[in-house]
């Protein structure tokens, strides 16, 4: 059987379908098989830790709506890996037709994914990846986190790589794919430059976490002792902005900031000059995930990895597009 090939243009076109807004459909009852009128899908979300995550959740709920032929059983695990695995086991016991997972962390999925396979329930991974065997899931749809880190690092190296630059890092959730890959990509891009990473700590992808960690960095090094902040997402960057301002510094000037996500609040901070550069991580993955579920249940072979292309933004570029962005 031929695999389905999705080009970057096709992917972006599909994402554009959701630019008009998102709804929700949470349900616990009913059942159907993949060939019936309704497809029952369990979606295990990470939580609601950021603006990006909220936009991703709404995209998924809209795509897996009753109007589109689905019954959605939704669970957000509040960034607790054990709770998320328990949710997946609940989906299996309910006899859903398919399971979609945005894994909180990469490790620890082998057993429950095998349980889903034993129950003949296909699994689609969304946004984040796992270290389990690829045989245990049908496909993954999301972003190239390492490339995002490389893009952010290339900007930093071009801007600051020729002069001594003290950098601190606000890491995402420890053990998660985006935190691991964004760190690796950024480090590769700045290798050989004059940028020195003086400290790095997780802010758990939250605004409060980013603020707290940045407050600690500022107490340790002072405003004058930090030249650059690399935040693994916009929410942590926004928390860092609050901490820098509270310490009497000017974010974007005294301390430069590079971030990843391009959610509305982050883009506004970029337009305002408080963030200096943002790499996009598009959260509108619902349509593609729903398409994959339908294809798998129809017996079609699908691509194992479906990447969505990301953009990057300077202050001027952000100002041009911010009013037209849906998230």
Residues 183, 230 within the same domain: yes
Residues 135, 204 within the same domain: no
Backbone angles phi, psi at 126, to 5 degrees: -130, 135
Is residue 286 assigned to a domain?
A: yes
Question: What's residue 28's pLDDT?
Answer: 39
Residues 100, 173 within the same domain: no
- Residue-number span of the structural domain to which 177 is assigned: 145-280
Is residue 77 assigned to a domain?
A: yes
65-96 CB burial, b ≥16 within 10 A, e <16: beeeebbbbbbbbebebeebbebbeebbeeeb
Cβ atoms 172, 178 nearer than 8 A: yes
Is residue 2 assigned to a domain?
A: no
Number of domains in the chain: 2
Residues 89, 194 within the same domain: no
User: CA–CA separation, 176 vs 183, rounded Å?
Assistant: 11
Residues 222, 123 within the same domain: no
Residues 129, 205 within the same domain: no
CA 306 to chain CA centroid, Å, is 14
Is residue 136 assigned to a domain?
A: yes
Question: What's residue 327's pLDDT?
Answer: 86
Residue 161 CB: number of other CB atoms within 10 A?
A: 18
> Which H or E element spans position 215?
helix 207-221
Write down the pTM of the prediction: 0.83
Residues 15, 128 within the same domain: yes
Which region holds residue 205: left if phi is over 0, alpha if psi is between -120 and 50, else beta? left
Question: What's residue 36's pLDDT?
Answer: 54
Cβ atoms 218, 241 nearer than 8 A: no
Please report, for the domain that includes residue 196, its CATH number: 3.40.50.2300
Residues 139, 287 within the same domain: yes
Cβ atoms 84, 74 nearer than 8 A: no
E runs forming strands in the chain: 39-45, 70-76, 98-101, 123-126, 139-143, 165-171, 195-202, 228-231, 256-261, 277-280, 305-308, 312-313
Residues 129, 219 within the same domain: no
Average pLDDT for consecutive 10-residue bins of the chain (327 residues)? Answer: 34 37 36 64 95 94 98 97 98 98 97 98 97 98 97 97 95 96 98 97 97 98 98 98 98 98 96 98 96 98 94 97 90
Residues 286, 138 within the same domain: yes
Residues 97, 201 within the same domain: no
Residues 174, 286 within the same domain: no
């Amino acid at each position: 059987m031929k695999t389905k090939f999705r080009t970057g243009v096709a992917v972006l076109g599909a994402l554009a379908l959701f630019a008009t807004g998102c709804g929700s459909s949470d349900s616990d009852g009913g059942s159907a098989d993949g060939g019936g009128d309704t497809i029952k899908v369990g979606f295990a979300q990470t939580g609601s830790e950021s603006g990006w995550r909220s936009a991703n959740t709404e995209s998924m709920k809209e795509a897996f709506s009753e109007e589109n032929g689905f019954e959605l059983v939704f669970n957000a695990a509040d960034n607790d890996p054990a709770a998320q695995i328990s949710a997946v086991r609940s989906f299996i016991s309910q006899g859903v037709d398919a399971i979609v997972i945005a894994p909180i962390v990469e490790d620890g999925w082998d057993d429950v994914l095998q349980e889903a396979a034993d129950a003949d329930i296909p699994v689609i991974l969304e946004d984040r990846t796992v270290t389990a065997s690829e045989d245990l899931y049908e496909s993954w749809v999301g972003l190239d986190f390492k490339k995002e880190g490389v893009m952010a690092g290339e900007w930093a190296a071009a801007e600051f790589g020729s002069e001594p630059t003290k950098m601190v890092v606000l890491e995402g959730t420890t053990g998660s794919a985006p935190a691991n890959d964004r760190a690796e990509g950024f480090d590769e891009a700045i290798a050989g430059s004059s940028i020195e990473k003086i400290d790095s700590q997780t802010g758990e992808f939250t605004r409060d976490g980013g603020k707290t960690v940045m407050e600690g960095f500022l107490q340790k090094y002072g405003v004058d002792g930090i030249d650059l902040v690399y935040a693994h997402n916009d929410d942590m960057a926004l928390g860092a902005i609050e901490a820098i301002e509270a310490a009497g510094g000017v974010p974007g000037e005294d301390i430069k900031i590079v971030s990843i996500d391009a959610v509305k609040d982050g883009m506004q901070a970029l337009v305002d000059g408080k963030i200096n550069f943002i790499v996009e991580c598009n959260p509108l993955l619902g349509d593609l995930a729903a398409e994959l579920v339908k294809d798998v249940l129809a017996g079609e072979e699908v691509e194992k990895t479906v990447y969505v292309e990301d953009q990057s933004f300077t202050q001027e570029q952000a100002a041009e597009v911010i009013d037209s962005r849906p998230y």
